[in-house]
């Protein structure tokens, strides 16, 4: 049995591709305050930023959901095992999953690891120095059926090796991706009511938040919001409360629809004639889907992604949607500094929705009303073309 330090040394020094050494690292920790040492988290970092992360609670929440779907299927001999495999496939895992993946990877050939049933083992193989450019090239078609987080790992490896990304082999395609809160709808009043109800009725906390507080929260990651709400609590506890809040928020929004911006339907319909449209947010999984269910024009969007599903930063999720949709020229529209930073991270222009909640310090253009967006986007795409 290897200690974590030995495993990390082998992964980052012995196995890791030369193109990623010093850039990609692994992180494993346990929640020491919990009764079970298995209750911890795992992360993969690139250039100091977490590009993939999950924890014990996310993994077993996902596993139970899958088990409930599988347990009554007579064709599945071991639904509990298949639920565990499916949970990892969907990007949720904890440190014991990671250790098991390492031992499997460490004891078999690279070819066996690339075809492993375990998505974590396949990830380690994609990052391995023994997986050369020729093999990476052969994997292109197969990667289209891999989970989104594993596709991101593959793209990172391609970039590190100086290989063409899938979008670089396709015709030019323009796209506009949107933040959600403060850009496509205003759910701040509804979310405030839902969160305050949960805190008041399901916890022993006394905090009650205002709509202005909610404006400050929106656009941030769940971890950042939880720290602002309950700075004195341990991270695991405050994230647990926030999970309760967001779960009730989703139910509340289904019966209390948020407000869309005036003229939004016509604007989105106009843009969809020329551009691929998508939504990228730092929200929890399921939140964008509520907007799509309620807006009445969900068919005009070709894709959506969120941090709650991938564990990636907003900038990385923007790139992920661009890769999936083959978008080569893209604009991100949002209202906060975090949105501006995400666009910068993704390497694309940013349009500030100045009717929203924030005041970023840089943008390619600013619009005071969503109806100004088509003209602003056309100007930016034209200037990019000229340059």
Chain centroid to Cα 81, Å, comes to: 26
Are 278 and 288 a contacting pair, CB within 8 Å? no
CA–CA dist 180, 249 (Å, integer): 15
The pair of three-digit structure tokens given for residue 311, joined into one six-digit string:
């564990």
Q: For residue 32, what pLDDT is reported? A: 57
The pair of three-digit structure tokens given for residue 375, joined into one six-digit string:
């003209």
Provide the 10 A C-beta neighbour count for residue 287.
23
**Element containing residue 171 per DSSP (H, E):** none
Q: For residue 147, what pLDDT is reported? A: 87
Q: For residue 41, what pLDDT is reported? A: 83
Q: For residue 35, what pLDDT is reported? A: 47
Question: Which residue, chain included where needed, has tokens 């709400």?
Answer: 229
Are 229 and 243 a contacting pair, CB within 8 Å? no
Predicted confidence pLDDT, tens digits, the chain (387 residues): 678 889 999 999 999 999 999 999 999 887 655 545 556 788 899 988 888 888 878 877 888 888 888 888 888 888 888 888 888 888 888 888 889 999 999 999 999 999 999 999 999 999 999 999 999 999 988 888 888 889 999 989 998 998 876 655 555 789 999 999 999 999 999 999 999 999 999 999 999 999 889 888 876 778 889 999 999 999 999 999 988 998 898 999 999 999 999 999 999 999 999 999 999 999 888 999 999 999 999 999 999 999 888 889 999 999 999 989 989 899 999 999 999 999 999 999 999 999 998 899 999 999 999 999 999 999 999 887 655
């Amino acid at each position: 049995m290897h200690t974590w330090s030995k495993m990390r040394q082998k992964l980052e020094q012995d196995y890791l591709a030369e193109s990623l050494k010093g850039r990609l690292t692994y992180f494993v920790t346990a929640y020491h305050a919990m009764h079970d040492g298995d209750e911890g988290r795992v992360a993969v970092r690139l250039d100091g930023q977490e590009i993939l992360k999950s924890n014990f609670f996310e993994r077993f929440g996902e596993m139970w959901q899958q088990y409930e779907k599988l347990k009554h299927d007579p064709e599945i001999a071991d639904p509990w095992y298949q639920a565990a495999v499916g949970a990892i496939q969907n990007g949720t895992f904890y440190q014991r999953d990671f250790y098991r993946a390492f031992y499997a990877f460490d004891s078999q050939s690279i070819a066996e690891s690339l075809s492993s049933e375990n998505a974590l083992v396949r990830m380690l193989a994609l990052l391995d120095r023994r997986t050369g450019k020729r093999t990476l090239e052969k994997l292109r078609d197969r990667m289209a059926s891999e989970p989104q987080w594993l596709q991101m790992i593959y793209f990172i490896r391609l970039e590190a090796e100086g290989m063409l990304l899938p979008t670089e082999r396709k015709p030019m395609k323009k796209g506009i991706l949107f933040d959600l809160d403060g850009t496509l709808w205003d759910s701040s009043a509804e979310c405030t009511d839902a969160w305050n109800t949960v805190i008041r009725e399901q916890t022993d906390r006394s905090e009650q938040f205002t709509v202005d507080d909610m404006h400050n929260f929106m656009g941030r990651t769940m971890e950042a919001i939880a720290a602002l709400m309950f700075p004195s609590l341990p991270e695991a506890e405050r994230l647990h409360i926030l999970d309760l809040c967001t779960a009730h928020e989703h139910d509340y929004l289904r019966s209390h629809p948020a407000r869309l911006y005036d003229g939004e339907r016509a604007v989105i319909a106009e843009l969809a004639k020329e551009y691929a449209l998508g939504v990228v947010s730092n929200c929890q999984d399921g939140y964008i889907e509520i907007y799509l269910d309620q807006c009445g024009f969900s068919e005009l969007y070709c894709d959506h992604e969120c941090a709650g599903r991938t564990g990636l930063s907003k900038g990385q999720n923007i790139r992920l949607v661009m890769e999936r949709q083959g978008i080569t020229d893209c604009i991100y529209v949002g209202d906060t500094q975090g949105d501006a930073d995400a666009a910068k991270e993704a390497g694309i222009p940013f349009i500030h929705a100045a009717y929203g909640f924030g005041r970023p310090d840089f943008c390619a253009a600013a619009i005071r009303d969503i109806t100004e967006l088509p003209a602003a986007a056309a100007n930016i795409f034209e200037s990019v073309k000229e340059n």
